[in-house]
Structure formats: structure tokens, C-alpha cells
């Protein structure tokens, strides 16, 4: 073993990756700029944590941080910190992945606290897993159940698609608006429109709440695709305030329908999830909860 190379690799060389993740300013008491293995942060009202990935490199390049951070956002949190795990076939690939994650975090006002980087020759392209942490700003955590007949269904934010700058601007608007809506206690239930798209996420909220939805006006196409915005259920009396808050934050918001008693999901006049399928979703969730 070349001891000199060994020591330099593990004592110093990892800083090459760290340098690409350094924030403009740090909110951490101990953070990435200290080149330590752990960070120390202060959170007053509750810590919200979510992990996601590994992401394919095409998403790492574009908006992986957005996708991961919506899981914190949707429960009533304000995303603040990122921890990454990078695995790449070369040092160059690891450096590029770190640059992408660091740039997205800075664009969104998040701070990368640290993570782990591995260079392994048995992977074909860089992949990244992310842990997002934030502070709870809602009075109570928002779950994906709790919708009741008569409630109004809104979409907060627009699909976060397009080029890099376009995605970051759309995400910034959403990350400004939804935490403020949540802070005011206006959201009864919510789900980020990610895996499975609107049709799957709306069905999940319905099945867990024991209700249905009639969505009459869906402003975006491809209801099975990830949008990375938020489906929220609010009381009718709160709709006006939700619209005002989103407008003040420059965030698009759409009233798309209502919660109904009949356990079916209708979108634009078509029943896409019937009572039988809704019952099956509920039964499978119950089995999972029971540990079967």
C-alpha cells in the first residue's frame, strides 16, 4: 500500500467533492465548511425528515433536489437542509453529481450539510440518494388523509418540468407558497403529485380518507406523470385565503374539484377509479398497517 496516497485520499481528497456543495452562507452550527463527518443544526418547532433515491443521473442533472424536497414540503415543513449519498464510476462523475446537487440546493435556498461519496467501477453512471430536512411550520403535521365530503381540492404549483432555470423558478414559487398556506393551518390533507401522477395520488388520499373526489377542471395534461406540485384538500371557507396567499407568493394555484361521499375518483367527467378499486386500495393499505 502507498501510505501517502492512502492518507491523502481519505484525509483530504474528499474535499474536492465537498467544495462543490458549499453554501453561500451556513445556518448550521457545524456544517460542510468545517469538513467534518457530521453537522449540527438548530430546529425550533419540529424536524421533518425524508429520504429518497437513488436517482438516475438524468434527474440528478435537472431537479432531484426538488423531487426529494416535496416530501418535506407536503407534510407542512419548510425544506432547509440536504444530505447526499453519491455513487459514481469515476471521480469526474462524482464531481459532476455534486455540482448538480449543490447548484439546485443553492437555487432553492437549501443548505447541503454533507453526505457520503463512493467511486465504484461496477456502476454505469452516477446516482444520488438524498435526505431532506426541514422545520415543521404547520400547526400540526399534514397527512394524506382527513379529507371530508364538501371539502375543496386545489393544486398548488404547476408541473415542475422544462429546462433547469424554468424548473428552479417553478419550485421556488411552490416552496414560498405552500409552507405559508400550511403555516396558517389551511390544509386538511395533502399529497405531492409524484409517483403515479395525479390519478394515483388522488386515489390514495381518497382511499385513506374513506371518500371520493370529483375533479372537474384539471389544468395540466398527463395525469399519470410526476408533476412535483401539491394536491391539497381545504375547507370551502378557506379557499379564498389559499388563493390569496399563493397569488402573493407568485405561485399558480387551481381549484380543481371537490371531495364527495361516494368512494370513486372522477376526472373531467370520467370515472377513473371505481368503488371496487378504491376498496382494494384501502384493503391493501389496511393489510400493510396490520403487518400482513
Whole-structure pTM value: 0.85
The whole-angstrom separation of Cα 153 and Cα 184 is: 17
Q: Are residues 163 and 37 in the same domain?
A: no
b (16+ CB within 10 A) / e for 192-205: bbbeebbbbbbbbb
What are residue 229's phi and psi, to 5 degrees?
A: -105, -165
Over residues 164-192, the pLDDT tens digits come to 999 999 999 999 999 999 999 999 999 99
Residue 144 inside a domain? The answer is no
Residue 146 inside a domain? The answer is no
Over residues 215-248, the pLDDT tens digits come to 998 999 889 999 999 999 999 999 999 999 999 9
**What CATH number has the domain bearing residue 96?**
3.30.1330.10
Which domain does 192 fall in, by range? 152-290
The whole-angstrom separation of Cα 79 and Cα 48 is: 8
Amino acid at each position: 500500500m502507498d501510505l501517502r496516497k492512502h492518507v491523502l485520499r481519505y484525509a483530504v481528497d474528499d474535499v474536492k467533492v465537498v467544495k462543490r456543495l458549499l453554501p453561500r452562507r451556513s445556518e448550521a452550527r457545524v456544517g460542510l465548511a468545517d469538513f467534518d463527518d457530521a453537522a449540527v443544526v438548530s430546529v425550533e418547532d419540529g424536524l421533518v425528515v425524508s429520504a429518497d433515491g437513488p436517482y438516475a443521473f438524468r434527474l440528478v442533472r435537472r431537479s432531484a433536489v426538488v423531487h426529494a424536497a416535496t416530501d418535506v414540503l407536503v407534510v407542512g415543513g419548510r425544506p432547509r437542509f440536504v444530505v447526499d449519498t453519491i455513487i459514481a464510476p469515476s471521480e469526474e462523475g462524482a464531481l459532476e453529481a455534486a455540482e448538480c446537487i449543490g447548484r439546485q440546493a443553492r437555487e432553492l435556498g437549501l443548505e447541503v450539510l454533507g453526505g457520503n461519496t463512493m467511486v465504484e467501477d461496477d456502476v454505469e453512471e452516477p446516482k444520488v440518494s438524498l435526505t431532506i430536512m426541514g422545520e415543521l411550520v404547520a400547526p400540526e403535521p399534514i397527512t394524506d388523509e382527513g379529507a371530508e365530503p364538501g371539502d375543496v381540492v386545489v393544486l398548488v404549483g404547476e408541473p415542475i418540468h422544462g429546462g433547469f432555470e424554468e424548473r428552479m423558478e417553478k419550485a421556488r414559487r411552490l416552496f414560498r407558497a405552500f409552507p405559508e398556506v400550511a403555516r396558517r393551518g389551511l390544509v386538511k390533507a395533502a399529497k405531492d403529485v409524484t409517483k403515479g401522477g395525479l390519478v394515483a395520488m388522488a386515489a390514495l388520499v381518497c382511499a385513506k380518507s374513506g371518500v371520493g373526489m370529483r375533479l372537474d377542471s384539471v389544468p395540466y395534461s398527463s395525469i399519470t406523470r410526476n408533476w412535483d406540485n401539491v394536491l391539497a384538500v381545504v375547507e370551502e371557507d378557506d379557499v379564498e385565503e389559499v388563493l390569496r396567499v399563493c397569488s402573493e407568493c407568485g405561485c399558480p394555484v387551481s381549484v380543481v374539484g371537490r371531495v364527495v361521499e361516494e368512494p370513486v375518483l372522477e376526472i373531467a367527467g370520467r370515472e377513473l377509479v371505481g368503488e371496487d378499486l378504491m376498496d382494494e386500495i384501502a384493503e391493501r393499505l389496511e393489510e400493510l398497517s396490520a403487518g400482513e
